[in-house]
Amino acid sequence: MGAVAVLKLQQVGFTVAQVEALSEYLDSQAASKADLVGTEYRLDAKITVVRSDLERAEHRLQAQIAEVRSDLEHTEHRLQAQIAEVRSDIDITEHRLQAQIVELRADLKAEIAEVRTDLKAEIAEVRADLKADIAEVRAELKADISEIRADVKGEITTVRSDLSREASLLRSEMQQIEQRLTIKLGGMLVVAVGGVAALVKLL
């Protein structure tokens, strides 16, 4: 730092110690600039080397990427071939299953027809058995009803005869009671007439 600069700093208000410190700092900064220039040249060289390494690495990566792409294309072709094969197998299996379904349907229809025939025969047999049972039950019921009617008629006849006898008894008893009442009334009239005659004589 020049003397003029030092004088100006002192005039502004810097102390001698401050001016000396500032002068030392500026001197060290000048030395640092020179170091920075040398460092910059070294860094440029290193950057050049790094760029070269990066370019080589980029080429290697591009080659690897191309190789991976090629592998992926081969894999894709293989997978497409496998998918086509699987689809073909699925189609074959589908046709086979459809044929089996058709066969099962035919078998089921035949079995259903056979079951229907068997059921119809069994139903006809059951109907015949039921008709025979019903006819037998009807005959038994008719016999029971005839027997009940005969019993009821006999009981009715008995009850009628009993009622007739009881009615005759009641009639005879009523006639006897009527006769008794007539006799009693006659006696009472005789007594009453005698009493009236006695009262007439007394009056």
In the chain, which residue ranges form alpha helices assigned H by DSSP? 3-12, 16-202
Structure confidence at residue 22 as a pLDDT band (50, 70, 90): low
The residues spanned by each domain of the chain are 3-189
CA separation for the pair 109, 4 (Å, rounded):
124
Query: What pLDDT was estimated at residue 31?
Result: 46
Q: What is the mean pLDDT of the chain?
A: 81
The predicted-structure confidence for 52-84, as pLDDT tens digits, reads as follows 878 888 888 888 888 888 889 898 898 999 999
Do residues 23 and 1 make contact, with C-beta atoms less than 8 angstroms apart?
A: yes
Quickly count: other Cβ atoms within 10 Å of residue 19's Cβ.
Answer: 18
Do residues 32 and 15 make contact, with C-beta atoms less than 8 angstroms apart?
A: no
Q: Tell me the two tokens of residue 174.
A: 């009523």
Structure confidence at residue 115 as a pLDDT band (50, 70, 90): very high
